[in-house]
Each structure stands twice: as C-alpha cells, then as structure tokens.
Structure 1
Amino acid sequence: MQATAYEYDPASRGGQVLLDDGTPVPFDAAAFDAGGLRLLRAGQRVRIETEGTGAELRITLVTLQTF
C-alpha cells in the first residue's frame, strides 16, 4: 500500500503517514527500522505494509516508494 509521510521524529523513529484517502496512521520505531531507512521527510511517498483493519490497523513496515 502507498502513503505519504506526514510526521517523523528522528529521536523516537516513529511518526505518521497519510493514506491516499487522508487518513493518518501512526507507525513506531519497529516499523521504521524494518524498512531500513535512516531518515524520512514530510511529503515523501512511502510504501507501507499493514496488519489489522479499521481502528486496529497497524503499520509493520515503512520504506520509500520506488517506481
């Protein structure tokens, strides 16, 4: 699934992405580390992997979107 980076805190390595419908979804350091990234800037397109649905939706991986 694709999303747009919205917030990122380098100290905690967590943040939020916006889904294409505008829904914000938080991610934690484990999801960020799983993608192998070092930094994330607001506005970057990312690829995410999730588990769960609705209010239980959880991001398990964040990485940069490549074309």
Structure 2
Amino acid sequence: MQATAYTYDPRTRSGSVLLDDGTPLDFGAEAFDAGGLLLLRPGQRVRIEVTIEVTGDGDRRRITLLTLQTL
C-alpha cells in the first residue's frame, strides 16, 4: 500500500503517514527500523505494510514496515 509521509520525529523514529484517501495512520520506531530508513521528510511517498488487529472495540490497523516508494 502507498502513502505520503506526514510527520516524522527523528528522536523517536516515529511519525505518521496519510493514506491516499486522507486517513492518517501512525507508525512506531519498529516499522521505521524494519524498512532500513535513515531519514524521512514530510511529503515523501512511502510504501507501507499494515496488519489488522481485531480488538473488542473494532479493528485497528498497525504499520509494520515503512520504505520509500520507488518507481
């Protein structure tokens, strides 16, 4: 799935992306580290892998991998 980097904190290596429909989705350091990235700037196109966790309150999406989108 593709998205656009929205926020990134280099201190915590976490941030958020905007899906193509405008939905924000947070990512943690684990997803950032799994992709092998060193830096991320808002506006960059990224590829994400998402898992869906089923909870009592409904489904929750979690980014497990974040890489730069290349053509």
Name the TM-score class by shorter chain.
Answer: over 0.9
Query: Given the alignment of the two structures, is residue 63 of structure 1 paired with residue 61 of structure 2, yes or no?
Result: no
> Which structure carries more strand by proportion?
2
Larger radius of gyration: 2
Query: Given the alignment of the two structures, is residue 28 of structure 1 paired with residue 28 of structure 2, yes or no?
Result: yes
> Which structure carries more helix by proportion?
1
The separation in 2 between residues aligned to 1:14 and 1:61, in whole angstroms, is 12
RMSD over aligned Cα, in angstroms? 1.2
The runs of 4+ residues in structure 1 deviating greater than 6 Å are: none
Letter in 2 for 1:13: R
Provide the TM-score with structure 2 as the length reference.
Answer: 0.91
Provide the TM-score with structure 1 as the length reference.
Answer: 0.96
5+ residue gaps, structure 2, are none
Letter in 1 for 2:50: T
Secondary structure at 2:17 match in 1: strand
Pairs aligned (count): 67
